[in-house]
Amino acid sequence: MITPQEIQSVKQRFGIIGNSPLLNHAIQVAMQASPTDMTVLITGESGSGKESFSKIIHSLSLRKHGKFIAINCGAIPEGTIDSELFGHEKGSFTGAHEARKGYFEVTDGGSIFLDEIGEMPLGTQARLLRVLENGEFIKVGSSKVQKTNVRVITATNVNLIKAVEKGKFREDLYYRLNTVPIFVPPLRERGEDMVLLFRKFTSDFSEKYHVRPISLTAEAQSVLMRYPFPGNIRQLKNLAEQISLLEEEREVDGPTLSRYLPADNSRLPVALTGGNRDSEAMDFSERDILYKVLFDMKKDMNELKKLVLESYKSGGLNQSIIQKHSELFEDMDSNLKPSESHDGGTSYMPLVLESQKSSNQDPDEYEEEVIEDIIHEEDDNSLSLEKKEKEMILKALRKHNNKRKYAASDLGISERTLYRKIKQYEIDQ
Ligand SMILES: Nc1ncnc2c1ncn2[C@@H]1O[C@H](COP(=O)(O)OP(=O)(O)OP(=O)(O)O)[C@@H](O)[C@H]1O
Ligand SMILES: [Mg+2]
């Protein structure tokens, strides 16, 4: 019998916030299933928090000292997934210069988490069924049957029964995987958890960005709890980040919060996706990117404001232009911001850029350059979200030496979405 205290301590250990009965039940089932070797199927909408459950199950199992490998079936190209999972022999296909062990071989004695199992190709499903039934597998290009002892944990945010009906998922495998089903509830069915999670995320972000934490009025809390959150916790986390960064008033009321909540999916910027949307999961991953693009643009905008102000202070820009648009500069650092002078008029603290101090540039010439820069920036950046997105993806890939897993995690999107975007933008790696 699992006690409420034991459930509580698992939540603490795995950073799971919430206290709703549905969540507690899911954790309890995971804890009961852990010490067995049964195959587990974790279901739940995108962003509901399925990933932590795989870790709970492995960490509380008798295999906890064995290997744990998480594989996103949707992120591995169809042509290589068999070889990744089961290995291949040298020369078994073009480019197979060496023999390679697959995850099922190297994880012998441990657990494998097969995420987005609904994306697994039918051929691979047949191999998986065999390994689940009797621990047998055969490397690609080999005829030798090998044995392994791996606990399989799977997860999906698509309806596998529908996939079975459409002939995309093997019915026998579905029943085999579903020995222990764990249903992770959608956020909208978790009541007060929404407020707890929002508080947790805004407090995390206030530390990360060194800003005062956001709090919600009672009215805003009920707005939050009435919102359906189709993107679940991932969407709530994005919302908390967005408000933490953009909202000046740190106590958020109902109408303000409503402004941040999209009425429905149709308000999401569709142009960014370039068609080919095959599951709801993507919408929110794409929204993650979009938020980041917006933050990036806001940063650019602030840089531009700084540039204009600095050039004004050095005498390069016409004072009347700045005064006419003074509201644009309201959110600037106080050392850059326009301030009241003794005679009541607006004046600016003297600040001269190093590069300009030494130059004897004609102010008119400098003004032209600034304006050119601004026009150039607009052409380059703000008008093309897609271009910006591609740039961010390239940046992330470069930063992580083309390791998609880390690049995807840095971008806050799934590997599968990254893989799709790489194809969409024809990025060479
Ligand atoms: N109970 C929770 N407490 C705190 N954070 C959570 C909780 N559940 C999920 N999260 C966070 O929410 C985000 C989404 O969770 P996760 O990646 O597990 O979703 P998922 O169900 O696997 O979605 P998908 O089907 O799209 O892969 C992650 O950043 C995760 O850390
Ligand atoms: Mg997941």
Q: Is the CB of 180 under 6 A from ligand 1?
A: no
Residue ranges per domain, the chain? 4-185, 188-267, 286-424
Taking the centre of ligand 2 as the mean of its atom positions, its distance from the CA of residue 405, in whole angstroms, is 13
Topology (CATH level 3) of domain 188-267: Helicase, Ruva Protein; domain 3 (1.10.8)
Beta bridge partners of 112: 69, 152
Q: What is the pLDDT of residues 126-135, one digit of tens each?
A: 999 999 999 9
Displacement of CA 213 from its chain's centroid (Å): 22
Rounded CA separation 85/146 (Å): 13
pLDDT score, position 324: 63
Taking the centre of ligand 1 as the mean of its atom positions, its distance from the CA of residue 3, in whole angstroms, is 24
Taking the centre of ligand 2 as the mean of its atom positions, its distance from the CA of residue 51, in whole angstroms, is 5
Residue 284 alpha carbon, nearest atom of ligand 1:
26
Element (H, E) at 195: helix 193-209
Options 3.40.50.300, 3.40.50.1980, 3.20.20.10, 3.40.50.150; CATH for 4-185 is: 3.40.50.300
At residue 338 the predicted structure's pLDDT band, cuts being 50, 70 and 90, is: very low
Give Cα separations from 217 to 204, 224, 242, 339 (angstroms).
19, 10, 18, 33
Pick the residue whose CA is nearest to atom 24 on ligand 1. Answer: 46
pLDDT score, position 218: 96
pLDDT score, position 278: 40
pLDDT score, position 319: 64
Q: Is the CB of 51 under 6 A from ligand 1?
A: yes
User: In 3D, which of 176, 179, 172, 216 has the Cα closest to residue 196?
Assistant: 216
Rounded CA separation 195/221 (Å): 7
Residue 285 alpha carbon, nearest atom of ligand 1:
26
Give the type of residue at 34. S
Q: What is the pLDDT of residues 61-91, one digit of tens each?
A: 999 999 999 999 999 999 899 999 999 998 8
Residue 44 alpha carbon, nearest atom of ligand 1:
21
Q: Is the CB of 388 under 6 A from ligand 1?
A: no
Q: Which ligand is nearest to the CA of 233?
A: 1
Residue 109 predicted with pLDDT over 90: yes
Of 120 and 373, the one with more pLDDT: 120
Q: Is the CB of 18 under 6 A from ligand 1?
A: yes
Q: Is the CB of 230 under 6 A from ligand 1?
A: no
